[in-house]
Amino acid sequence: MELLSAAVVMIGLLAALNLVLTIGVIRRLRVHTEQLTASLGGIGSPELILPAGSAVGEFAATAESGRVINLEEPTGLRLIGFFSANCGACEERLPQFTEHAATFPGSVLAVAVGAGFATDRLVEALSEVGEVIVEEKGGPMHEALDVSGYPALALVDAAGKVVASGWDLSAIRPKAEAVAGS
């Protein structure tokens, strides 16, 4: 009986130690989450695409429609989105982007990143809301907007300056509404 009591006490102590360690891990994860959120400014990584206030570089790219798109083209406010065919976050944000782009007051330009049949689904979804350019990473649109990850979104004014940018529409939508309302 003493052996059984000792085993129960030992298991209880191990369970208590496990609980203490689990609570410590959870606290540490919360600290890391807060640090990560603070470093991203709450709206996404500014390193994915040019930050607000930056000038878009010169570019010329041929859209799937055959039209040549460039910075000089007088389009007013422009919503630009970069989506990769093999990106989980792009899959999540694509419906949000197309929904927002369908009612966007300016022009919409989307870049489907990849080649071949992998980009077909992206091209199909994005062509319903704007011009679509298919290019590999490092293409003219990537260089003009200094894109290094996906999804990457930018709101660009008629002068070619980035008004807002990020990886999520929460970085774009308020600025788009403010600019469209003025």
Q: What angle do CA 140, 146, 147 make, to 5 degrees?
A: 90
Of the two residues 53 and 173, the one the predictor is more confident about is 53
pLDDT(45) > 50: no
Q: Give 71: exposed, middle or buried? Use CB within 10 Å, 0-12, 13-18, 19+.
A: middle
Percent of the chain, pLDDT > 90?
23
pLDDT(75) > 90: no
Spell out a b/e string for 94-133, using b for 16 or more CB atoms within 10 Å of the CB, else e: beebbebbeebebbbbbbbbbeeeebeebbebbeebbbbb
Residue 78 host element (H or E): strand 78-84
Three-state SS for 111? strand
Range with the lowest mean pLDDT among 105-114, 147-156, 168-177? 168-177
User: What pTM was estimated for this model as a whole?
Assistant: 0.71
- What are the structural domain ranges in the chain? 1-39, 46-181
Q: If you classify domain 46-181 with CATH, what class do you get?
A: alpha beta
* pLDDT tens digits, one per residue of 81-96: 999 988 888 888 899 9
Confidence of residue 30 (pLDDT cuts 50, 70, 90): confident
Q: What is the DSSP letter of 71?
A: T
Q: Look at residue 154 in the predicted model and tell me its pLDDT.
A: 92
Of the two residues 39 and 67, the one the predictor is more confident about is 67
pLDDT(31) > 90: no
Q: What's the half-sphere exposure (Cβ side, CA atoms, 13 Å) at 135?
A: 21
